[in-house]
């Protein structure tokens, strides 16, 4: 049985009802009042005055302020993200097949018309998120992407703005929070209504997406980011500690788990945590320490199969394997947002530049879904066509099933297609 060497005390429950009610009121007011109400929220919550639409001149000025070396890094990351997304798109194929003589069915892959991409900005400037959401939507074939980011110190962070342009955003709005999500969903400020909303954000952004879901699609309900590291005796404890703390800097709500079958490694990692935390500047250090103290766990297992079982139960957003026999782990593990294989493949590579998307399922949602991909920005729809040759058998089966269900109208529509007496009825029950 797995044994806890360090358990997570957790945090005090958040006031979820307050968030839900606040968001519901804001969405209703913005839906009814449109641009004017959204601007009022932007003024009060973001300190933003004037139109939120970012002009080409403003983007040009931001681009000029971004160092050339950072532009090169962003181009490198963008090219990887776009190439991976295009490969995903190529894996989605359209087809048509004749199921029986005269009965044809097929599949089409249709890009969505408009997407809304939220790029968060709080303690950190989430520049890479702009690339992950916008570039993936454009690779899927989305015609119009509206991107929103909250202004920081009176403007969107210049590097974030540059990344939005690089990724292909069609319209950029300097809006944050619920008002940004609502603006994209409702088509405010002369933008098309979004067919899907994507991108991470705080609790208010996540709740706004949840409440809007239905008429509007969403990528997922994102909770706090998390990481799990599987490590055996071959792992470097100093590096494991660094990889845990590197993700913990997201903040106090971010779980970070070590799963190991080696007690010596576990204690060495615990011993390394304090001086690893000391490597971070403030406020990063305080954020990481809060996460490790409240949400950090170290789980000791008997063997690698038990380690895999624990990992599948936790279903982490990021799962990093620093253990021998990587092919075994790749074939065995089944529940994760994204898998990072080998000690050199740090999670930060996936967060920023390696290619696969970093918008990933949290809060154990990896049990049933993967992360953001081109699949979220296309509709896989079906069609069917019936010729005379298939009519007798198809109509008969349909009528019999319909009568058995008590759905006479359905049966009659089938029977009307064949020039013969009605089919016998099968009474259900």
144 counts as catalytic: no
318 counts as catalytic: yes
- Pairing outcome for strands 103-111 and 378-386: antiparallel
Structure tokens at 304: 């690698």
CB contact at 8 A, 382 and 106: yes
Q: How many CB atoms lie within 10 A of CB 270?
A: 16
- Pairing outcome for strands 227-231 and 318-322: parallel
- Give the bridge partners for 95, in sequence order: 107
Structure tokens at 115: 């997407």
Q: How many CB atoms lie within 10 A of CB 28?
A: 13
| H/E element, 380 | strand 378-386
| H/E element, 297 | strand 296-300
Structure tokens at 171: 């319209």
**Burial label, 187 (beta-carbon count in 10 A; 0-12, 13-18, 19+):** middle
Among all chains, which residue has been given the structure tokens 């500047």?
Answer: 281
Q: Which of the residues 144, 250, 318, 403 is marked catalytic?
A: 318
Structure tokens at 365: 């949602």
Q: Which of the residues 126, 249, 250, 317 is marked catalytic?
A: 317
> CA–CA distance from 388 to each of 49, 71, 100, 401 (Å)?
65, 61, 12, 20
CA distance 323 to 315: 18
CB contact at 8 A, 209 and 221: yes
> CA–CA distance from 412 to each of 388, 415, 421, 424 (Å)?
18, 5, 11, 12
Among all chains, which residue has been given the structure tokens 């360090």?
Answer: 6
Name the nearest CA neighbour of 171 among 183, 158, 159: 183
For 48-70, letters b (16+ CB in 10 Å) and e give beeebebeeebbeebeeebeeee
Query: Could you list the active site residues?
Result: 317-318
């Amino acid at each position: 049985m797995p044994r806890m060497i360090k358990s997570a005390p957790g945090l005090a429950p958040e006031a979820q009802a307050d968030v839900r009610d606040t968001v519901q009121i804001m969405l209703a007011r913005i839906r009814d009042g449109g641009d004017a109400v959204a601007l009022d929220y932007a003024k009060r919550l973001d300190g933003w005055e004037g139109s939120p639409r970012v002009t080409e001149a403003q983007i040009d000025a931001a681009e000029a302020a971004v160092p050339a070396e950072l532009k090169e890094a962003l181009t490198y990351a963008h090219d990887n993200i776009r190439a991976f997304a295009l490969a995903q798109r190529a894996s989605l194929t359209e087809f048509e097949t004749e199921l029986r003589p005269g009965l044809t069915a097929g599949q089409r892959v249709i890009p969505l018309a408009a997407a809304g991409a939220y790029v968060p900005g709080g303690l950190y400037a989430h520049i890479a998120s702009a690339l992950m959401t916008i570039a993936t939507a454009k690779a899927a074939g989305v015609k119009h992407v509206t991107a929103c980011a909250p202004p920081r110190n009176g403007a969107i962070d210049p590097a974030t703005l540059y990344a939005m342009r690089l990724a292909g955003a069609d319209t950029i709005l300097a809006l944050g929070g619920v008002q940004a999500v609502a603006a994209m969903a409702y088509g405010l400020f002369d933008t098309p209504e979004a067919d899907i909303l994507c991108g991470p954000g705080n609790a208010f952004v996540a709740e706004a997406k949840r409440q809007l879901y239905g008429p509007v699609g969403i990528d997922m309900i994102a909770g706090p980011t998390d990481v799990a590291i599987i490590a055996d005796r071959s792992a470097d404890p100093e590096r494991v500690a660094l990889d845990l703390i590197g993700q913990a800097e997201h903040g106090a709500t971010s779980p970070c788990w070590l799963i190991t079958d080696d007690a010596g490694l576990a204690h060495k990692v615990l011993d390394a945590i304090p001086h690893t935390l000391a490597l971070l500047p403030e406020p990063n250090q305080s954020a990481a320490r809060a996460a490790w103290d409240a949400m950090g766990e170290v789980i000791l297992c008997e063997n690698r199969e038990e380690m895999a079982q624990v990992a599948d139960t936790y279903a982490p957003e990021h799962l990093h394997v620093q253990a021998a026999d990587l092919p075994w782990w790749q074939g065995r593990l089944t529940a994760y947002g994204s898998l990072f294989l080998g000690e050199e493949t740090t999670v930060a590579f996936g967060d920023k530049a390696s290619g696969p998307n970093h918008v990933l399922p949290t809060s154990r949602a990896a049990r049933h879904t993967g992360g953001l991909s081109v699949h979220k920005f296309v509709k896989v729809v079906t069609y069917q066509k019936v010729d005379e040759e298939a009519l007798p058998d198809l109509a008969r089966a349909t009528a019999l099933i319909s009568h058995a269900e008590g759905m006479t109208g359905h049966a009659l529509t089938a029977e009307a297609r064949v020039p013969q007496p009605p089919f016998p009825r099968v009474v259900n029950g």
